[in-house]
């Protein structure tokens, strides 16, 4: 059960026009919060002080999806709706790179080789984009709808396969290993890593999972199996934070898979992306229109 003596203050900041849909979230080195506005084709930046900045990507239907801070200090974002990946520098300068038609780029992370690695949801592939804009694709056996991707503790990239109930591993030489989960209909989506393991969520089964680089698996049922966990991130205290889409909440999960904190938003808020700020705050993108900030408690 959540700790009764843990208190956090929650503040909310409206982002974009009504219906823009904050979706993914990341924090940059200046402690500014970035979020994709999936329904309006924009990216928003919330500086530590000052008004929200809106960056238009030039196509309202481009569906900006996932974001990451690149090795060059810029923000990188996948455009799932029109097969592009964009770069936005600290001064707002934007570059845009095409990926193969129909790729449907979605998940995104920086790899150990200093390139951007992404999931191609539509093509059933993993892509690599270097800082010069060169793109290469590796088709996965059986497709499986690769969703989110993260750099693992073993120097490889790990990703979820939403439609085939599996985790995948790809190294910088493009060698692929697939790890099938016991429940093929579990629908893994969000994924993160700490120094020892890969953590992921099963949106269709209401579970959180942990896999070692060797493939050893633990799975933990959430108290509400219908909560639809979506995104997951690690904190600095050895825990993980998960958004519970249908549960209208965010939860902190211990190493044993127990819920240590549970913070509930409003019905219809649709919490999706989640990230940690330098001060220990938790940032949550609410598709209803706000960025929620869970300030550190005691």
Which residues are catalytically annotated? 272
Contact indicator for 38, 25 with CB cutoff of 8 Å: no
Which run of H or of E encompasses 259? strand 259-264
CA–CA separation, 195 vs 188, rounded Å?
21
Contacts of 156 (CB under 8 A, 6+ apart): 112, 169, 170, 171, 172, 213
Counting Cα atoms < 13 Å in the Cβ hemisphere of 24 gives 27
Contacts of 231 (CB under 8 A, 6+ apart): 24, 148, 189, 190, 201, 242, 243, 272, 273, 274
Q: Print the SS3 string covering 205-245.
A: CCEEEEECCCCCEEEEECCCCCCCEEEEEECCCCCEEEEEC
Contact indicator for 286, 269 with CB cutoff of 8 Å: yes
Written as one string, the DSSP assignment of 42-64 is EEEEE-SSS--EEEE-S-TTS-E
CA–CA separation, 200 vs 267, rounded Å?
24
């Amino acid at each position: 059960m959540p700790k009764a003596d843990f208190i956090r203050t929650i503040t909310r900041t409206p982002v974009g026009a009504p219906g823009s849909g904050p979706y993914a979230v990341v924090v940059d080195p200046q402690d500014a919060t970035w979020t994709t506005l999936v329904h309006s084709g924009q990216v928003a930046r919330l500086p530590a002080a000052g008004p929200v900045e809106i960056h238009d990507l030039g196509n309202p239907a481009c569906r900006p999806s996932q974001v990451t801070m690149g090795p060059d200090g810029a923000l990188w974002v996948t455009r799932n709706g029109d097969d592009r990946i964009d770069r936005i520098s600290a001064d707002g300068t934007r570059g845009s790179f095409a990926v193969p038609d129909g790729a449907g780029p979605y998940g995104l992370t920086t790899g150990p080789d200093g390139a951007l690695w992404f999931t191609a949801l539509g093509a059933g592939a993993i892509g690599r984009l270097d800082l010069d804009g060169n793109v290469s694709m590796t088709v996965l056996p059986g497709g499986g709808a690769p969703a989110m991707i993260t750099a693992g503790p073993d120097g490889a990239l790990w990703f979820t396969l939403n439609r085939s109930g599996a985790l995948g591993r790809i190294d910088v030489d493009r060698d692929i290993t697939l790890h099938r989960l016991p429940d093929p209909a579990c629908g893994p989506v969000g994924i993160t890593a700490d120094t020892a393991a890969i953590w992921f969520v099963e949106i269709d089964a209401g579970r959180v999972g942990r896999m070692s680089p060797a493939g050893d698996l633990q799975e933990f049922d959430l108290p509400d199996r219908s909560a639809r966990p979506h995104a997951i991130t690690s904190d600095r205290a050895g825990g993980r934070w998960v958004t519970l889409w249908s549960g209208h909440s965010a939860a902190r999960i211990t190493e044993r898979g127990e819920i240590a904190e549970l913070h509930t938003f409003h019905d219809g808020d649709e919490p999706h992306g989640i990230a940690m700020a330098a001060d220990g705050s938790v940032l949550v993108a609410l598709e209803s229109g706000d960025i929620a900030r869970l300030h550190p408690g005691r």
